[in-house]
Amino acid sequence: MASVPDSARRTPDSASRPRKALTIGAVCKILQSEFDDVSISKIRYLEDQKLLNPRRTSGGYRLYSQSDVERLRTILRLQRDEFLPLRVIRQELAAGNDMVLSGGDGERKPAGTVRRAILVDTSRTYLSLEEILEETGAREELVSELEGFGIVQPEKREGRTVYDETDREIVRAANELSRVGVGARNLRIFRSSADREAQLLEALLGPSLRSRNPERRKEALQSLESLAATVSHLKHLLLVRDLRRLAGD
């Protein structure tokens, strides 16, 4: 990659800021200590998806401020730790509900309201198997196994097998677990747990969700999102409690 002249690196307010703007290569190197899969092409892809908007020099070089780097770190953490699709991350950032970093330990704290569950009535992006493999780094055999156990559920559209963003993030998580010996068949317990939770919420809100009254359906969707977020939080708390016992606390 060509070097950027010092004059191009200098921002208008450089005199008042102790840190210089960073090139995309420098940003990538900084983040690689925390995110093994980050690459220049991935950072460019996130920019193409309107999640980042670094300043550019007259020569077209990208220059990232410290706030750009922290925003990128947040995006990557939300992808990795919470498996949020880019569409939802974009909505959260636009709504001001991004996560702020506190202290040197990198702990994240909510900057806004509690995030609602990722649910229906939102647009979906479809991907091919090749795109799934490229974006997650998973093997085709793993995706096939996940499909076989009903963990990933592709659709047929215009004669093609396609996956949505949720499928992609499931594959990404499963691929991470596969690195420590957790196979697709072991993930069936998560599928069974999710099915039971969905059945509980359906029993509570099913009639309203199927209502022909637009207002009643809208209210039911809002309740479904809120309850799903509460269920997810409860699961997390129960897991934390059991892990503390496992660790001997």
Q: Is the pTM of this model over 0.85?
A: no
CATH of 126-247, one of 2.40.50.100, 3.40.50.11890, 1.10.1660.10, 3.40.50.2300: 1.10.1660.10
| CA distance between the termini of the chain | 50
Cα 146 from Cα 167, distance rounded (Å): 10
Cα 85 from Cα 83, distance rounded (Å): 6
pLDDT for the residue numbered 90? 83
Report long-range pairs for 54-61 (Cβ below 8 Å, ≥24 apart): 54/24, 55/11, 55/21, 57/4, 57/8, 58/8, 59/4, 59/8, 61/4, 61/8, 61/23
Domain ranges of the chain: 18-110, 126-247
CB atoms within 10 A of CB 12: 7
Instruction: Burial-class residue 49 by CB neighbours within 10 Å (0-12, 13-18, 19+).
Output: middle
Cα 226 from Cα 212, distance rounded (Å): 21
User: Phi, psi (5° rounding) for residue 111?
Assistant: -95, -15
pLDDT for the residue numbered 97? 52
User: DSSP letters along 211-242, please?
Assistant: -S-HHHHHHHHHHHHHHHHHHHHHHHHHHHHH
Per-residue pLDDT tens digits for 160-205: 999 998 899 899 899 989 989 999 999 999 999 999 999 999 999 9
Cα 103 from Cα 27, distance rounded (Å): 20
Tell me which residues of the chain have a pLDDT lower than 50. 1-18, 98-118, 120-121
Nearest by Cα to 175 from 152, 208, 204, 148? 152
Topology of domain 18-110, CATH: Multidrug-efflux Transporter Regulator; Chain: A; Domain 2 (1.10.1660)
pLDDT for the residue numbered 16? 37
pLDDT for the residue numbered 201? 93
Tell me, rounded to whole angstroms, the distance of Cα 101 from its chain centroid: 17
